Amino acid sequence: VTEAVHALSTIADGLGFGFSGQSDPKQQLFNYLQGRSMLLVLDNAEQLVEEIGFLAELLEYAPNIRLLVTSRERLNLRGEWVFTLDGLPLPEEQDKAVQENAAVRLFVQSANRLRPGFSPNPEDLHSICRICELVGGLPLGLELAATWIQILSCAEIVLELEKGLDLLTLSQRDMPVRHQSVRAVFDHSWNLLAPLEQKLFARLSIFKGGFTREAAQQVADATLPLLAALTDKSLIRPSEAGRYTVHELLRQYAAERLEADADLQRSTQDRHSAYFLEHLVQQRDALCSSQQKDVLAWITADFNNILTAWEWAVKTQQLANLRAASWTFWYYFELRGTYQEGDGIFHRAEKALTQVMSAQSAPSDEIKILIANLKAHRGFFNFRTGQNTQSLEATQQAVSTLRQFPDEAALRDALWSFGGAAWVVGQFQAAHDALKEGLEISKRLQWPWGIAVDTMFLGMVLHELGDYEKAFVLLEEAREQSQSMGDPRLIIFSTSYLSRTAYTLGRAEQMMKLLQSALQQAMEMNDRYATGLAWEQLGLNALQLGNTRHAVVGLEESMQLFRETNDLWSMTRVMNSLGDIAFSLRELDKAASHYTEALTVALQVGTWPTAFAALLGLANLAVEQKDPARAWVLTALIVKHPASETFSEQAKELQTSLQSQLGAEQLSNLQNQIENTPLPALLQSAVKNKSVI
């Protein structure tokens, strides 16, 4: 890991913590760790020294967390306690218990793996003590030197190490002694390899975070005998998970050897990139099925390999591979809730390829399509993180560009991203038209996931437009399609949004078992956004079934999750629902607090539908408090806003009922005030509970 944002997601994976919502991932992780007592072990942190400041912030935020960090450089953080690792204690030859020395025991144990029954005689012990001294007691050096026992005596191993150290001392005088020792061991281990073993070991350095046997075969032409030979020499290590790992120092050494052969390095990088991006493409359908959890685990385990493959494809403009892999890579970040991380990766790719295109006199359609595709995916990340204006702009640009080309799949992605952004900000008709077009494309492409998700979003928009029966039919259809595919995320989402429409139609009872199942599935997937959504709908359904206490519990559970993830849009929905409950219970101060907070947040992020719902709530509250003038003004704000659509009818009905309570002169004054005051100022007055008259 070489960037702080990837370090955060790696730590989260180790803790089994899932990101979600609009909040900065660092803040989400800090919120999770605050108040916990825990030891975090971070290995090989030297490549993060320049970005290690987030660890200092973590310790300030979560003082009960302790960090154990290994690094070849000091972190220079306040509160850092430095323990220098100098290797195992060196043996003293005259000690009668020399064979019990840890360094000696490690050498003998390692030698026994390859020469069973090896038992050192006094002369061997003398040489082993010298070997321990030459490698500074470093375990890696001892293990590697011990593998030479197959062809060398202990005395010969000493001679080879001394020879290597003499050469290094002459050629690299500025290298620390302990680094010289390890380098001498590495060099001799390399020299003992057969040419095919050397070539394979160098090529394996391309892998980041380990590799499977299949990957090694496809990328580096690794055969089982060659892998076994490198394992016997302790250069690679098999794990129980079916993966091989290489000690980071050895990997860096092998990478130097690979860099010495430019053609071999280039071909290996090309094959590595092609293998992982093709594998990503092959996993698309499985990622949209009941195998989703397993595919996520595979991508997470090989994330650094996939990222390396992606970045090499960007650097070398392997446009077809990038285009093919972009959707699966996007869905990975969407499912894990690491929107900022995904946005950063896609942004770098878009920026690099845009520079390439700008330098071309006649850029290809392929590069234009890919850039627009990346922009559409980034627009969805913007939508997820509450940057709704940026999302609309990016997705509109992507749609406009992609209409010029025959890549319907890319156009469909852009239409869906635009439809989602337009839905959130209340542009329901625009969202409807985009999603309907996208659904038609998904059907032509015969893509089950696209059909299910476009149908679901279209149903959600029809709900906002007030066509509840048609919305219910589409959402039920989307739920059945999702169930057929087995995609847990879509099952949970479609069930939750179907439940919302069922609630509006008075059909809450038939949804309770489905929602409880969705909640359990969301919790098993560690999907905090989906969990919050399920709790929200369970709360609303409980309310309709007359169980107010359970309703409040469900809504407060969802609110806690949405607050933790800073999902502002979802927070405003739940705040309005809690306001409605408080209003029904005649807890008017509490209702006012909920509605006002919902309005404040909704105006902050531009989610107009929830802003209008909050204004209606405050208007009804004003009626209850015998303040018809304020109630009329609040409804007038809804009517005046160009994006109010379905809410304006409700507002007009309430206005009509209020006019009889207002004198003609007072009503005229109010109308003039509304017409002559900028809408933003009126809305801020509503937030501050101030009168505009």
Structure tokens of 243?
């993966």
In this predicted structure, the answer to whether residue 208 has a pLDDT above a threshold of 50 is: yes
SS3 660: coil
Q: What is the pLDDT of residues 481-502, one digit of tens each?
A: 999 999 998 998 899 889 889 8
Strands, E assignment, 234-367: 237-238, 243-245
Instruction: Find which of 85-99, 488-502, 556-570 is predicted with most confidence, using mean pLDDT.
Output: 488-502
**pLDDT confidence tier of residue 511, bands split at 50, 70 and 90:** confident
In this predicted structure, the answer to whether residue 693 has a pLDDT above a threshold of 50 is: no
Q: What is the pLDDT of residues 39-56, one digit of tens each?
A: 999 988 887 777 777 888
Q: What is the pLDDT of residues 625-650, one digit of tens each?
A: 888 888 888 888 888 776 666 677 78
The one-letter amino acid code at 277 reads: L
Which region among 279-283, 596-600, 656-660, 679-683 has the lowest average model confidence (pLDDT)? 679-683
169, 185 in Cβ contact below 8 A? no
The one-letter amino acid code at 648 reads: S
H, E, C per residue of 394-460: HHHHHHHHHCCCCCHHHHHHHHHHHHHHHHHHCCHHHHHHHHHHHHHHHHHHCCHHHHHHHHHHHHH
In this predicted structure, the answer to whether residue 444 has a pLDDT above a threshold of 60 is: yes
Please state, rounded to an integer, the average pLDDT across all residues of the chain: 87
What pLDDT shows up at residue 180? Answer: 62
In this predicted structure, the answer to whether residue 95 has a pLDDT above a threshold of 50 is: yes
Percent of the chain with pLDDT over 90: 48
Q: What is the pLDDT of residues 367-391, one digit of tens each?
A: 999 999 999 999 999 888 878 889 9
What pLDDT shows up at residue 21? Answer: 61
Q: What is the pLDDT of residues 575-629, one digit of tens each?
A: 999 999 999 999 999 999 999 999 888 888 778 888 888 988 998 998 888 888 8
How many whole angstroms separate alpha carbon 242 and alpha carbon 454? Answer: 39
Q: What is the mean pLDDT of residues 220-226?
A: 95
What pLDDT shows up at residue 170? Answer: 45
497, 460 in Cβ contact below 8 A? yes
598-605 LR contacts (CB < 8 Å, sep 24+): 598/571, 598/572, 598/573, 599/683, 599/686, 599/687, 600/687, 601/568, 601/571, 601/572, 601/575, 602/572, 603/683, 603/687, 604/568, 605/22, 605/386, 605/388, 605/568, 605/569, 605/572
SS3 678: coil
Residues 6+ apart with CB under 8 A from 360: 367
CA separation, residue 306 to residues 106, 266, 324, 597 (Å): 36, 17, 14, 42
Q: What is the pLDDT of residues 245-296, one digit of tens each?
A: 998 888 988 999 999 999 999 999 999 999 999 999 999 999 999 999 899 9
In this predicted structure, the answer to whether residue 570 has a pLDDT above a threshold of 90 is: no
Residue 229: phi, psi to the nearest 5? -65, -45
**pLDDT confidence tier of residue 23, bands split at 50, 70 and 90:** low
Q: What is the pLDDT of residues 144-175, one digit of tens each?
A: 889 889 888 999 989 888 886 554 444 444 44
CB burial of 65-90 (b: ≥16 within 10 Å; e: otherwise) equals bebebebeeebeeeeeeeeeeebbeb
